[in-house]
Every structure is written in structure tokens, then in C-alpha cells.
Amino acid sequence: MRVLLALGGNAMTGRDGRARVEDQVSAAQDAMDSVADLVAAGVDVVLTHGNGPQVGNLLVKNELAAHVVPPVPLDWCGAQTQATLGLVLMNALDDALRARGIDRPTATVVTRARVDVDDPGFARPTKPIGRYLGAEEAAVLVEHGETWEDRGEKGWRRVVASPEPREILDAAAVQALVEAGFVVVANGGGGIPVVREVGQGLRGVEAVIDKDLGAALLARTVGADVLVVATDVSHAVLRFGTPDAEPVGRVSVTRMRALAAEGHFASGSMGPKVDAACRFVEQGGRYAVITDLTRIVAAVRTPDGAAGTVVVPDPSGDRAGRDHPEQGEPHA
């Protein structure tokens, strides 16, 4: 079995949300203990991860140094965090595997994800990133070509596009390493967003790809049987935060889509994870799991819904979402 495991941003920070070096190393060690258990269970694992706190740190450095040096573009920030987090995860996973007597090599692929140059998100950026600044500080960054919005009393905040990922450009390298026996870390933060322009080749763009949608596309591209979205809760929950809250166990993809349409899953938290799980199953995946790190082995080995939310194909074999076949489809 091959599993694509997507680590949420919380998996790479301290319990209090801080992202100091020591916090990130400690969090990676905890996360990789669970991953090593999955490998020990005989599963081929491909890892991807969020990078929001790490990119946020780089953006602060951009802001503080903007009077001295030009800000580093967002695609460069993504590349830097992919490499840095890959290093941290590989070190932690190597140690965890060694402690279990497992000899498996690890590798990180700095990974680009192609988006459409005419994606509607570029026309009106809406994805907020980084911290709030005062008007004068924001004005300096606007002069460098960034888009900032006045958010009232909180101050100004940068916004960027969040385009749909269409193709994992470096998937062949990931696939080759997996086939050679490596545990691979790839496509961190949803992938480094690039566009292909006629006669001009590839170029990076100022955008953020949703990490969960990037994970679903990578999973399908590298032939994963199962997608696991690891977060800080064991299940997706209906009526979250109310006395009638109810965890979702094993559910068909059509039913999960219907629950999402009813507004059960917040767009800024569980919503993208549910969408990613549904896309993966709709496009041929065996099943998708949403759970926390402590339950990933149980959820993968016994996908009955007890250890996490498990999204499965419809009993009839039909696929929901056939009216959107273009989503996540790689182009030749």
C-alpha cells in the first residue's frame, strides 16, 4: 500500500503555536514517530506538509528589511521552506526509523506546482498572509509590488492569489525515488506555484496553493492508494462547537459532499481537508482519511471510521463531482 500523508501546519510548530527552531525540531520528532510506525507497518509513505508559520517568519524578515533590500518573492519563500522543513523532517524520520531497526533512505524534492496564468484568483487576490502592519509600513511593501488591504482597526494585511493546482511538475522525480525505496518529502505548502507562458517557459508567481488540494493532486499523481490528511483532531465533526456535535466516521464521497454543501466544515480549517479527501476518492483513490497523528496507523489499517473520518467511493461505484472533471487534472 502507498499512502500520501499530508501534515498540517500544527505538526511543525510547538503546542502553543510558536515556530522557533527548537519548537519545529521537537514537533517534527513527534510527527515522525507516527510516520515511522506507518513505515514499520509495511506502508510506502510519501510526505507533504504545510508551511504557513515558516513562510510567515520569512515575510516578517522581508518587512523588517524592506528599506534595505528588496523583499524575497513568495515563490522563493516557498522553496526555502520546502528545503528547510525537508531537512528537519528527514533528520527526525531517520532517527525514528533507526530506533525501530528500519533501514530506509529519505529524500526531499523541492517541488513546483503548475497553475493557470489566467486563474481567476490572480484577478482579485483574497488569500491573507503574514501579519498586520501600519499604513506606512505597508506602503513600503506596496512600492515593491505587493498587494495590501486596509483591514480597519487591525491595520493593513497582505493578500495574494490562491490558484488551483493543475500539475505537479516534479512528480516524476518523486515517483522514481519512491520506487527506489525512499520515503520522500515533497510538494510542501501545496507546491511552489509556477505558470507556463507561451514562448517564455516557467516562472514563479506570488501566490499560495492550498496545501490540502496540493496533497490530493500529488497523491493521485504518484499513484497513492490512500490519502491521509493529518490534523489536530481525530475526526471531521458535524455541528462543530455545539452540544449536538457529532464526529463523522466512515462515509461515502457523495454523502460527504452533501454535508459540506450544508455548511458543516469551515472554509478556513476543515473545509479544504474535506474537499481534498473527496477529490482524491472521486478521482480513483481507494479511500481518504482525516485524523490526528496518533491514529494514522489504525485509520489506515482498519478504515472503519473508528480512528478517523474515512471517505470511501459510493457503493454503486459512481463518482461524485463528475461535473468538475477539470479540477486537479494534470495537462499533457
Q: Given the residues 127, 155, 204, 271, select the one marked as catalytic.
A: 127
Q: Given the residues 121, 130, 189, 273, select the one marked as catalytic.
A: 273
| Sheet-wide strand order for 201-204 | 167-168, 112-114, 192-197, 201-204
Q: Print burial letters for 50-86: b (CB count within 10 Å at least 16), e (below 16).
A: bbbbbbbbbbeebbeebeeeebebbbebbbbbbebbb
Contact present, 27 and 69 (Cβ < 8 Å): no
Contact present, 206 and 73 (Cβ < 8 Å): yes
Q: Given the residues 121, 211, 214, 285, select the one marked as catalytic.
A: 211
Got the DSSP string for 110-123? --EEE--TT-GGGT
To the query of whether residue 130 is one of the catalytic residues in this protein, the response is no
To the query of whether residue 273 is one of the catalytic residues in this protein, the response is yes
| Percent of the chain that is helix, strand, coil (3-state, to 5) | 40, 25, 35
Amino acid at 320: A
Please state, in angstroms and rounded to a whole number, the distance separating the CA atoms of residues 258 and 249.
15
Backbone angles phi, psi at 44, to 5 degrees: -80, 125
Rounded-to-10 torsion of CA 231, 160, 219, 13: -30
Q: Given the residues 9, 189, 190, 191, select the one marked as catalytic.
A: 9
Grid cell 515556530 in the structure block, residue: 19
To the query of whether residue 101 is one of the catalytic residues in this protein, the response is no
Q: Which residues contact 93 (CB under 8 A, 6 or more apart)?
A: 32, 35, 36, 106, 183
Q: Given the residues 8, 10, 214, 308, select the one marked as catalytic.
A: 10
To the query of whether residue 154 is one of the catalytic residues in this protein, the response is no
Contact present, 49 and 188 (Cβ < 8 Å): yes
Residues assigned a catalytic role: 9-10, 127, 211, 273
